[in-house]
Amino acid sequence: MRSRLEIRVSGFVAALVVACSPASAPPAISPSPEGIPTVLRGYRMTTSEPIPERDGGGTLYRFNDGSGAYLTVFIYPVPDDVKQTDDSGQWVIVEGRKFVQVMPIQVQRGRYDAYEMAFADPEPVIVGRDTIPGFAAAAVTRSRGVVSVQLEYLYLVRGQFLKVRATLPQENWQKAVAPLFARDLAQIWFTRK
């Protein structure tokens, strides 16, 4: 399977094609006590902290690769508002669409001056004979004249959401391994003991 990411940046469309072979094994990692890798695909964990219960609970982990690209991993319980059906695969879609819904709110609050959605679609991950329900979304944002690419990958793993958010500078987004980081992390979290 190949994943294609097309994003409009500075008036032109560029493509990032990432080989996402479901048969490939995640690279060797060094796990934290919670089982999250401290190093993965060149990103190093810089901090971890609990998500307050008032915000749903869970844990967030911040990663940096030194290039100006930042990743935040969230592991949290499935919120009640997304449990609209008994189909847990639909929960991922409902939660994943929140990325699209929050973008205009971020503009209203002044975080971004403008944005353009690139895509927001289901994107499951295959692990052996199993399928991890997933959702991927991307937007190009402009804030104070700086253009960035915002990526979000969301998976339902072991009854919890695993979300990877990436902010990539315009000049480096074509080299981003964030999609591979997200896929590998979902596979690692799914297969952990």
Tens digit of each residue's pLDDT (9 = 90 or more) over 82-117:
998 889 999 999 999 999 999 999 999 999 999 999
Domain contains 40: yes
Residues in the chain: 193
The predicted-structure confidence for 163-190, as pLDDT tens digits, reads as follows 999 998 888 777 778 899 999 999 999 9
3 — pLDDT class (breaks 50, 70, 90): very low
Domain contains 14: no
Q: CA 145 from chain center: how many Å? A: 24
CB 26 within 8 Å of CB 128: no
Nearest to 121 by CA among 109, 133, 137, 141: 137
d(CA 184, CA 189): 9
Is the pTM higher than 0.75? Answer: yes
CATH for 86: 3.40.1000
Domain contains 4: no
Domain limits for position 82: 30-191
Domain count, the chain: 1
Alpha-carbon distances of 92 from 10, 89, 133, rounded to whole Å: 31, 6, 7
Could you tell me the sign of the dihedral formed by the alpha carbons of 107, 109, 113, 119, in that order? negative
